[in-house]
Amino acid sequence: MRFSIIVPVLNEEAVLDDQLAHLIVQCAQYDCEVLIVDGGSTDNTINIAQRYGQVIHSARGRATQMNAGA
């Protein structure tokens, strides 16, 4: 069964590296993907996610997030 883990982030530079490392290990055991939904981070959050090759979705504003289902 394939499933997705959606991680909403906003300025999560301090914890994202460890969080993604753990998720990648878990996803290696299952058929899953990790999607990062960024809410307009101004720190290094996006660069950290890109190092892991994650799909980055920028969802600025509540209306945009609701329309995207995040």
Segments forming the whole domain that contains residue 11: 2-68
Number of H helices, E strands in the chain: 3, 3
User: For residue 68, is pLDDT > 80?
Assistant: no
Which pLDDT does position 43 carry in this prediction?
A: 96
Which pLDDT does position 37 carry in this prediction?
A: 86
Which pLDDT does position 3 carry in this prediction?
A: 87
**pTM more than 0.75:** no
The model's pLDDT over 32-59, given as tens digits with 9 standing for 90+, comes to: 888 888 888 999 999 999 898 865 666 6
Mean of the per-residue pLDDT values of the chain: 82
Q: Which of 23, 69, 31 is nearest to 57 (CA)?
A: 69
The model's pLDDT over 11-32, given as tens digits with 9 standing for 90+, comes to: 999 999 999 999 988 888 888 8
Provide the domain count of the chain.
1
